[in-house]
A and B are shown apart, each in its own frame.
Chain A
Amino acid sequence: MKQGLLKGRSAYWIAIFVLLLVLPLSVLAAVTFGTMDLSIAAVYRSILQGPLPPAGLQDPIYNVVWLIRLPRLILAIAVGMGLSICGLVMQAVVKNPLADPYILGVSSGASLGATLAIMMGVGASLGSNFLGLMGFAGAFVSSLAVMALANIGGRSSAVKLLLSGTAVSAVCSAFSNLIVFLSNKKEATTQIVHWTMGSLAGAEWRSNGVIFCVILAGTLFFWSQSRTMNLMLLGDESAITLGTDLHRWRILCLLVSALMMGFAVYSAGMIGFVGLVIPHIVRMLFGTDHKKLIPISALLGAVFLVWADVLCRIVVPGTEMPIGILTSMTGAPVFLYLMARKKYGFGGGT
């Protein structure tokens, strides 16, 4: 197992402690940013008044703080956590450092679902967020398809998973493109492009609760399985000699992460790069032990997305930038810097 820049147990516990402190502080700081010119005192007064709307009168400050800013930040935490954990898991499952949460057909499946919803109105009867629901369905179904394909003609392996993921992606994006091409809706094309750039603007408390629970449960599940994921990096042969058959675990991990990604896609569209970069950064700093990687990645992903959402709201005044653009623009340079600084190992035999 490779060590990171920061070695030892104490570094790990300090990191956890700092991140646990930084996350709520980030939320409290982030909630003061926005287009509405609200004083910090007014924002905190509103927060202290509690989540119930002030009786009688309509209060714009309450609406902005409790109904617009806070749900977004909570969603940012959940999605940031989910993205980095799923990225980490995918990298272990397919034993490939280039893997991200969307690699095994999730992104193209989600796009196909969204395209069907926008262009052909499929699923419009499911209510106002049918676009997200179709994205969820697309992501989940395509993940299942990838798993099924990889198991045809023998047990799946990391390579077979990657190849079936590529195949399913190609088919899904071809169908999305066909639908876009055949459609006459000019506005809808814009809508699809926007959707794929990701946004947390649709956040609301009702769906937030479910998403948060799913992502948290998934994260805890993976944390409990950190030993299995360490084995995945060693490969099937070593794992068998150590008494673990990775085949079943791989499928289980994929199912759980497909569920988590489905919910992330449902609520925020597609947000690139977080799931790729955060696990790598954490791995560079703390080594490749998943027992450490999972909690730190989860917290760092959450903090990162909270601040990314703040940036995308304030970077161009009066307008809202899709968060996917921002995560890639800020994430990539940090990633490259860390990579250039130190010889970086992915773990296992590599």
Chain B
Amino acid sequence: MKSCPKSLVALLTAALLLSLTACGGSAGTPSSTPAPPEQTPSASGPAQTPDGGAQSAHYPVKVTTYNYAGEPVETVYEKAPERVIAVYQGCIETMIALGLEDHVAASYGLDNEVKEAWKAGFDKMNYQTEPFAPDKEMVTMQQPDLIFSWGSLFGEKNLGDVSNWIGKGINTYMNSNTVPNGSRTLENEYTDILTIGTIFDVEQKAQALVDEMKSSIAQTLDAAKGSEPVRVMVVEPLGDSITNYGAQSLAGDMVTALGGELAVPDASQIGKEDLIAADPDVIFVVYMAYSGDDPEQVKADQLAVIQDDPALSTLSARQNGRIHLIMLGDMYASGPRTLDGIQTFAQGMYPGLAHESSSQ
């Protein structure tokens, strides 16, 4: 029984290789011809530890991640993974932001284009436009040593739970803010960046990213010291209903970390009257432009729900021009974009303050 899937994989690999050569080799990207598992990645190993630390001193590394039930799972890394499958925006961008694009075998599932500064790195990540998210077979054929993705990908209808992969010697890392039934906090985003830094032995770079986020918050808090806490709501109009990002969301945690107060911390669905009753100082309207949508149109539509409804004309945020847009990707499992989320919130909450750290 045990040997059966292995021989099947070998057979399929052979079939794939055969078909590739038959096709005339024009599709000869390095990643589509996966290295056989027996072969040790000799040459690439030491060259790709930018911190230059001796491998033996850093590894093995123990990392805690989660399974689809939300329970912690211990994983061990003997060396930096060489063939990472990175799925979804935050995971792809975390890899680029840490300069790890060369470790990525294939990437999938981008909702928005990566930021301009990351384009060069992104080109090396063998991004697959189809399908949006890989299935079990595709992942198996890529022979990865790490699957880095959101919790939802490990559902039984997608890749299946992490234990199946870890059992096969393929590590997994789940973005902490997408762990089923888990908490949604800024700290989780920091932890993820730092942990990926540890896994790949690029801890300084990871620390620098997190420090930048933390100092952005500290500067804002410093500058806003003494002023009344701003009452904030983060809302996403969806059809007739309005989703409210409360204290249990990453957006809510960002607002609170920046010294703001959530006007409606508990509700997840609200009506227009709830908005008037809460009457927050600042309203952030969440938008999400998927590929194929016109981002400007999406922004205008989302803003109009709050900005143009006559019933909401008395909102003080509207009268004071304090309704702002924020992109979903900057405040939901945001990875390195967490910094952008923090800055957007900070600028909206404290319009008078200068933001030296805003590089965008």
Contact = CB atoms under 8 A, between A and B. Distances in A.
A257 B39 CA distance: 70
Interface in A53-68: 58-60, 63-64, 67-68
Interface in A66-111: 67-69
A101 B202 CA distance: 62
Nearest to B133: A184
Interface in A295-327: 313, 316, 318-322
A201 interface: yes
Nearest to A317: B267
B272 A68 contact: yes
B264 interface: yes
Contacts of A131: 239
Interface in A166-223: 184-188, 190-191, 194-195, 199, 201-202
Contacts of B313: 58, 63
Contact of A184 (B132, B267, B274, B310): B132
Nearest to B290: A185
Contacts of A241: none
A36 interface: yes
A58 B315 CA distance: 10
Interface in B248-268: 264, 266-268
Interface of A: 34-37, 58-60, 63-64, 67-69, 118, 121, 128, 131, 184-188, 190-191, 194-195, 199, 201-202, 269, 313, 316, 318-322
A208 B276 CA distance: 22
B71 to A, nearest CB: 23
Contact of B310 (A63, A318, A319): A63
Given A121-B293, A185-B290, A322 B241 contact: yes
Interface in B286-327: 288, 290-293, 301, 304, 310-314, 319
Most chain-A Cβ atoms within 10 A of its Cβ — which of B270, B277, B312? B277
Nearest to B265: A318
Nearest to B275: A35
A321 B240 CA distance: 12
25 contacts: A34-B273, A35-B274, A36-B277, A58-B319, A63-B312, A63-B313, A64-B273, A68-B273, A69-B273, A184-B133, A184-B290, A190-B238, A190-B243, A191-B239, A195-B239, A199-B240, A201-B241, A201-B271, A202-B239, A313-B271, A318-B278, A319-B267, A320-B241, A320-B271, A320-B274
A319 B328 contact: no
Contacts of B268: 319
Contacts of A322: 241, 269
Contacts of B310: 63, 67
Given A121-B293, A184-B109, A184-B111, 15 more contacts: A35-B273, A69-B273, A131-B239, A184-B132, A184-B291, A194-B240, A194-B269, A201-B240, A201-B271, A316-B267, A318-B270, A318-B278, A319-B268, A319-B270, A320-B271
Given A187-B238, A195-B239, A121 B292 contact: yes
Interface string B208-247: 0000000000000000000000000000101111011000
Contact of A60 (B244, B270, B276): B276
Interface string B108-136: 01010000000000000000000011000
Contacts, number: 99
A59 B277 contact: no
B276 A319 contact: no
A321 B302 CA distance: 21
Given A68-B272, A69-B273, A184-B132, A318 B239 contact: no
Interface of B: 109, 111, 132-133, 152, 236, 238-241, 243-244, 264, 266-274, 276-278, 288, 290-293, 301, 304, 310-314, 319, 328
Contacts of B288: 185, 187
A63 B241 contact: no
B273 to A, nearest CB: 5
Given A63-B314, A319-B267, A128 B238 contact: no
A69 B328 CA distance: 30
A58 B319 CA distance: 10
B238 A313 contact: no
Pairs of residues from A and B, 6 with the lowest C-beta to C-beta distance, nearest first: A319-B267, A67-B311, A202-B240, A320-B271, A60-B314, A184-B132
A64 B241 contact: no
B276 A64 contact: yes
Contacts of A201: 240-241, 271-272
B267 A318 contact: yes
B269 A320 contact: yes
Most chain-B Cβ atoms within 10 A of its Cβ — which of A35, A64, A194? A35
A121 B277 CA distance: 33
A319 B269 contact: yes
A185 B111 CA distance: 8
A295 to B, nearest CB: 30
B288 to A, nearest CB: 6
Contacts of B109: 184
Contacts of A64: 273, 276, 311
B314 A194 contact: no
Nearest to A58: B314
Contacts of A313: 271, 273
A35 B275 CA distance: 9
A320 B272 CA distance: 10
B38 to A, nearest CB: 36
B279 to A, nearest CB: 8
Most chain-A Cβ atoms within 10 A of its Cβ — which of B239, B244, B272? B239
A194 B277 contact: no
Nearest to A201: B240
A128 B239 CA distance: 9
A207 B264 CA distance: 30
Contacts of A194: 238-241, 269
A58 B304 CA distance: 19
